[in-house]
Structure 1
C-alpha cells in the first residue's frame, strides 16, 4: 500500500480495423478514474501505452485498458490490483485442554489487517519432532483445536501461530506448556456438610472428584456466603485429594451457601467451574454474655410499672442468634422456677410487679437454650436533674453531647434521644450507656441514622441520667 504501480497495454493494428483513421488511441481507467499513459508505436504492427501510478492508496482496484471507438472508450483489457502490508503479528495465544477428547483448543488475536489474503496456521513442535501444522481455523475464526495425536501430555511443547500473505510471514510469541498444565478440570461434587465438632463454630465438608480427575494432584478453593453477606468468604490452598476440609468462625444458626472449585496444583492450570451450590444451616448455640439494660419505674395503685429497654447482643462467631428475650422475677440459682413477667422478641417491654420488687432478671434465648441472666436492680428515682446538656455536630452521622458534672458520685450515664416531632415526655426512642462516671461528654457515633433513630439535622430531645448505688438523677431537655 502506497507503492507505485506500472502497467502496459499492447494493441495490434490488424485487430482495430474499422477505426476512422486506422490509428488506435489507448487510454486508462483506475476503477472509474481516467488516467493518462504514454503511447508509442511498438514492433510488429503494435501500439503500446505505458502507465505509471505514483502511489496506490487503496487495498483493491481494477485497472482498465481502453481504446477510443467512435468517440467512446471501449474496455479491451483489465487487471485486478491488490495492495496491502505484510501480515500483522498474532498475539495473546492461549490454549485449553479438554479432558473429554484431550483436544487442545487454542485462541489468539489476529494482527493488524494487511488487506491481503492471509493464511493463518497454528504450529506445534516437541523436543523430539519437527514443527507441524496443528489445526486449520474455519471461516476466519481465531481459534482451532489441535488433536490428541499431535500432543505429548506431561511433556513440554511449543505452540505458535503464523500469518502469511503475499508480502511476508509473521509469527506470534511461542507458548511453552505441558498440555496437561492447561487442562480445565471437572468441578468437584460437595457430598456432605456437618457442624463438627459439636457445639463449636466449625463446619466439616466432604467432596469427590470425577474419576478422570481423581489421579491428579489438585489444589482447591472453597467459598461460602450467608444470604445477607455482601461478598463470599474464600478458603484457599485445600489439597484436592484429601476429600475433606474443616473451617471455623461460622455464625451459629445461620444458612450458608457453599461452592468449591479445583485445578491442577500448578500455577498455570485453569480453575474448574464452581461446583453446584450446596446449602447448610449451622447448628444453634445458646446466646452468651450480659445485656446492657435501662429502665424507668412509676408506682400506681400499689403496683410498680416498669419500662425496661435493652441492647440486642452483638452477633459474633462465639455467640448464638437470639430468638427472644425473657424477663423474670427470681433466679434459677435459688432453686425455684422464676416467674416470667415478659416474653418478647423485641428489645423493650412494659410490665408491672409488686411495689417492693427490687430486681428482675433479663435473659436471651433460642432453640438451643438460654443465656445467663442479667440482674436488673430497680433503683428508686431520686436526685436533682443534670444541668448544661448540649449537643454539637461531629460529622454527618455523629454528635458530641456535653453536660455539667453531677453533684454526687456517678457510676454511669445513659443518654436518650428521639426526634422532636415525637410525643413529649416519652424520650426513649434510642439510648446508649456511658460507663465512665467521671466524664461529662460522650459521642453518639453511627447510630443517628439507625432504624427508628433520627439523623442530623433533625432536632433531638435527650435525657442524661447519672447512676450510683441507691440513687438516680434524671434531666430531660
Structure 2
C-alpha cells in the first residue's frame, strides 16, 4: 500500500491541503472526491485543481469504447520546474496512454476500447517523487431498457371496482436505474393519466375513479434510464370487456319430459354482478357421468342472458350427470367454473351386450361356477339402479333363474344338464337382450410358459406372456385383483385375442399396492390353467422392518430370526435382506439372507464381546433399516449343558447294558467264579441233603462260623456205555461242568457193580480238618480210578488242599447216601440188586451201546 502526502500549492489554505493523506488504489472513490482539494491553487475567491479530466460520457453502453483526456495546469506546483509524467489508472489497473503534442507536455489522452465494467473510476496521476492523483471521473455502463412485454388489464367487478394491469419488464438486466411509468388515455373524455411505478414493480391497480366501464381507453407502459427509453405495445380495451366475472351459480338441473337424453339447466350470475343479467354473456358447460372421473370438453353455446335456461341433449339415457358452467363478456377472460350440480336423464331399457367369463370349480356332480361380467363399449345401462340376472333359459322369467345381483359377479351351482347360461341387465324401464355364455370346462393344458408385469406409470401395468402352443387357442383372459382385499367384486378382467401376447391394464391400479395378475388360455372346449405373477406399478422402501430376535445360542454361534413383513407394509417386492452385526470397536460384518428363510446363523463370534445387529430390507424402490439389538454369546448355554448330560447319560446307560448283557452271556463262568455250581438234589429223588452236607460244600470264607465239618468222599458212577472218540472228547471238555452232579451221588466207594472197566468216577474228598491245619502224621490214602475220565476240577479257592480217606466201615455207612444204613453189605456177601427206578437222576445218565465193538 502506498501513501502520498499532498503539497502546499496556494498562498492560503496550504495547511489544510497538505494535511490530507491519500491511499492508492483501494480508496479510489475517496481520491476522486478529495482530488479537488489536493495540489490546488487557493486564493481568496476559489480553489482550482491541478488537473482536469474530460470524457465523452460518464454513462456508456456496456462493452463500448471510452475516451478520456487529462489536462495539467501550468501553475500546478507538482510540475513547476520538473518534467511531467502522466499515468492513467482504471480502478486498480494501469492503463497505457498516449501523450498529446503540446509545448509543456501536460496533456494526456487514454482510450479504453472495451469498457466491460458496470461502474469504475478512471484517475489521472502525476509521477513526481511519489505517484499522486490529480484528477479523475466515475464511468458507469449498462444497457438501455427493453420494452415491457405481455401487458394485460383485468377489471374487477366486485366491490371495490378496480382495473389491474400487469406486465413483464424484460429478461435483460440494464445495470442502470430504470424507471417505469403507466399511462392511460380515455378517448371520449381526453383524459390522460400517468402513474409512477416503484422500482421492480410488475403490476399496478387503477382505482375505479380513473376509468369508465363502457368507454374505450388506451393503456401502455414506458421504461426509461440514462441510455434511453422504451414503450410497450399499447392495449386498447373497454373496461367491462376486461372484467373477469365471479363463478356463476347453477340453480337446477332437471329432466326434460318425454325427451330422452336431455337435461335443462337453469343458472344466474353472482350477487355482486347480477346487474349484468340484462346483457348477453358467453356460456360454457362441461359434463361428466357419475361413474366417471373425467370431465367432457366444454360445450360453447351462443350468447345468452342469465334469465334464460339452457337445454343439454344427446346424452345417455337414465344416466346421472354432473354439470359446471362459466361465463365471459365479449373478449373478457372466462370466470372460474361454478360448483357442480347433478341431474338424471330419462330411463330406457339397457342396450348392448356384456363382456363376461366364467371359472368352474368342483367335480362333475357338483359344479361351482364363478361368473364375472362388465359393460362392453356398446353397452348402455340407460338407468340408475341396474341389476343382473343369470338364468339357464333364454326367455325372460323367474323360471330357470340361478342368480340375481347388483354386483359384477355371481357364484352358483350349475344344473347337471346345462350347457350355457344367459346374462341380462335390468333396470326400471326394462331388460336388455340376453348375452349367451357358454359353460367352459377346465382343461389341464399348460400352454402359457411365462408371464411378466412391467410398470407403465403409477396407474398402469404392461402384462406380457408367452405360449407354447397356439394352435387350439381362441384367446386369453387377463385377470387382476388387489392382493390386500379379498372382495370378489374388485376382480377385473380383459379378453385378449389369440394373436396377442401383451396387454396394458389400468383402472384402479394404485402405486405401492400389490396386485395378482393371471392369464388364462381359452380353448374351444374349455379354459386352461393360468399363469400368475404379483406386481407393483411403483415401489418404494418398506414401511416397516422386521424386528430380529435371538432364537438359539451356543458356543460362538447364534441364530437370529424375524417375522415376515405384512403384505400391506412391503410397498414392493422384497428383493434382499441383509443383517449387519459388529462387536464393540470391531469391523462391520454383513450377511445376505434369502428373504424367504427369515433366519440367519452368525458364526465364529467372540464369547466375551458385546455385539450389535440390525437388519436391512430392500425393494427396487428403496431400503429400510430395522432397530438395533444387543447380544452376547455365552460359553455354555442351557442347550449345551442338556446335550452334555444327555450324551453322558446315554453313554453310561449303554455301558451298563453292555455289562449286563456280558454277564448274562457268560453267567456260567461268572457263577463258577463267585460260587460253586452245584445241582439241587433236594428236587431229585436221590436223597435229601443234610444241613451238615450243605454246609460242607460251602467252606466258610472267614473264621466266624463255629465248628465247621470237613469231610472227604469218593463216589463212583457206573457208565457201562462205551463212548466214541468224539464223545470222549466232548466228555473231557465238559468235565468241568460235571460238578453240578453234586458230591452226594454216592457216599462211599462201595457201589454195587463197581468195576474198573467202563466206569467214570466222581470223587469228592471230604476231610476232617481245615486246609490250614497241620498235615496228619499218618499218610494219606487216595482212591484212584481206572477210568480215563479225569477227575473233577478242584481249583476253586474254597476247595480243600488236603484229603483224608475214611477207612472204617462205620464211617462208610454214615457217608453212604444210596439208601439206609441197613442196606450196607459186608465184604464177602453177595451184592444187593439195585433198582434204577429208585434213582431217576442216575437213570438219566445211563447210556446204552448201539453198536458192538
Report the TM-score range of the alignment, normalised by the length of the smaller protein: 0.5 to 0.7
Q: Out of 88, 91, 96, which is 2:146 matched to?
A: 88
Give the conservation status (yes or no) of the 8 Å contact 2:353–2:376: no
After superposition, the C-alpha distances for 1:329-365 in whole angstroms (9 at most, x for unaligned) are 789978xx64643234345554344x78899764323
Give the conservation status (yes or no) of the 8 Å contact 2:348–2:382: yes
Q: Out of 168, 175, 181, which is 1:109 matched to?
A: 168
Q: Out of 176, 199, 224, which is 1:164 matched to?
A: 224
Identify unmatched segments of 5+ residues in structure 1.
Answer: 382-395, 404-413, 420-428, 434-441, 466-473
Match of 2:390 in 1: 327
Alpha-carbon offset, residue 12 of structure 1: 7.0
- Please give the alpha-carbon distance, in whole angstroms, between the structure 2 residues aligned to 1:475 and 1:357: 17
- Please give the alpha-carbon distance, in whole angstroms, between the structure 2 residues aligned to 1:290 and 1:113: 66
Map residues 246-325 of structure 1 onto 2, 5 A cutoff: 246-250=311-315, 256-264=321-329, 266=330, 268-275=331-338, 277-280=339-342, 282=344, 285=347, 288-289=350-351, 312-314=374-376, 316=379, 319-320=382-383, 323-325=386-388
More helix by share: 2
- Greater RCO between the two (CA within 8 Å, min separation 6)? 1
Match of 2:596 in 1: none
- Please give the alpha-carbon distance, in whole angstroms, between the structure 1 residues aligned to 2:153 and 2:438: 75
- Which region of structure 1 is more displaced relative to structure 2, 1-10 or 225-234? 225-234
Give the conservation status (yes or no) of the 8 Å contact 1:418–1:453: no
Match of 2:403 in 1: 342
Match of 1:145 in 2: 205
Match of 2:306 in 1: 241
Q: Relative to 1, partners in 2 of residues 1:188 and 1:82: Cα closer, same or farther, differing over 3 Å?
A: same
Match of 2:233 in 1: 173
Q: Out of 43, 59, 66, which is 2:125 matched to?
A: 66
Alpha-carbon offset, residue 131 of structure 1: 7.4
Alpha-carbon offset, residue 262 of structure 1: 1.0
Q: Relative to 1, partners in 2 of residues 1:58 and 1:255: Cα closer, same or farther, differing over 3 Å?
A: farther
Match of 2:157 in 1: 99
Q: Relative to 1, partners in 2 of residues 1:453 and 1:251: Cα closer, same or farther, differing over 3 Å?
A: farther
Q: Relative to 1, partners in 2 of residues 1:165 and 1:192: Cα closer, same or farther, differing over 3 Å?
A: same
- Which region of structure 1 is more displaced relative to structure 2, 221-230 or 171-180? 221-230
SS in 1 for 2:164: strand
Identify unmatched segments of 5+ residues in structure 2.
Answer: 1-60, 442-463, 479-491, 507-515, 530-853
- Please give the alpha-carbon distance, in whole angstroms, between the structure 2 residues aligned to 1:7 and 1:431: 88
Q: Relative to 1, partners in 2 of residues 1:134 and 1:202: Cα closer, same or farther, differing over 3 Å?
A: farther
- Does 2:270 correspond to 1:207? no
Alpha-carbon offset, residue 283 of structure 1: 6.6
- Please give the alpha-carbon distance, in whole angstroms, between the structure 2 residues aligned to 1:378 and 1:432: 15
- Please give the alpha-carbon distance, in whole angstroms, between the structure 2 residues aligned to 1:191 and 1:260: 11
- Please give the alpha-carbon distance, in whole angstroms, between the structure 1 residues aligned to 2:307 and 2:231: 44
Please report the TM-score for the alignment, with normalisation by the length of structure 2. Answer: 0.40
Q: Relative to 1, partners in 2 of residues 1:319 and 1:445: Cα closer, same or farther, differing over 3 Å?
A: farther
Give the conservation status (yes or no) of the 8 Å contact 2:349–2:383: yes
State the number of aligned residues. 414
After superposition, the C-alpha distances for 1:149-182 in whole angstroms (9 at most, x for unaligned) are 4434323322222223334333222322222222
SS in 2 for 1:217: coil
- Please give the alpha-carbon distance, in whole angstroms, between the structure 2 residues aligned to 1:182 and 1:120: 23
SS in 2 for 1:161: strand
Map residues 406-445 of structure 1 onto 2, 5 A cutoff: 415=474, 417=476
- Please give the alpha-carbon distance, in whole angstroms, between the structure 2 residues aligned to 1:431 and 1:138: 64
After superposition, the C-alpha distances for 1:183-230 in whole angstroms (9 at most, x for unaligned) are 211111223333444784333332220245332431021223356444
Alpha-carbon offset, residue 117 of structure 1: 2.9
SS in 2 for 1:180: helix
- Does 2:284 correspond to 1:224? no
- Please give the alpha-carbon distance, in whole angstroms, between the structure 2 residues aligned to 1:307 and 1:60: 88
Give the conservation status (yes or no) of the 8 Å contact 1:121–1:133: no
Match of 1:392 in 2: none
SS in 2 for 1:87: coil
- Does 2:94 correspond to 1:34? yes
SS in 2 for 1:117: coil
Alpha-carbon offset, residue 68 of structure 1: 4.6
Give the conservation status (yes or no) of the 8 Å contact 1:331–1:338: no
SS in 2 for 1:181: helix
User: Rg larger in 1 or in 2?
Assistant: 2
Alpha-carbon offset, residue 279 of structure 1: 4.9
Give the conservation status (yes or no) of the 8 Å contact 2:320–2:345: no
- Please give the alpha-carbon distance, in whole angstroms, between the structure 1 residues aligned to 2:265 and 2:476: 48
After superposition, the C-alpha distances for 1:64-113 in whole angstroms (9 at most, x for unaligned) are 2334565243x454422123444333333222222244433222333554
- Please give the alpha-carbon distance, in whole angstroms, between the structure 2 residues aligned to 1:51 and 1:331: 111
Q: Out of 52, 56, 75, which is 2:110 matched to?
A: 52
Give the conservation status (yes or no) of the 8 Å contact 1:134–1:146: no
After superposition, the C-alpha distances for 1:380-428 in whole angstroms (9 at most, x for unaligned) are x9xxxxxxxxxxxxxx99999878xxxxxxxxxx956569xxxxxxxxx
Match of 1:123 in 2: 183
Map residues 375-454 of structure 1 onto 2, 5 A cutoff: 415=474, 417=476
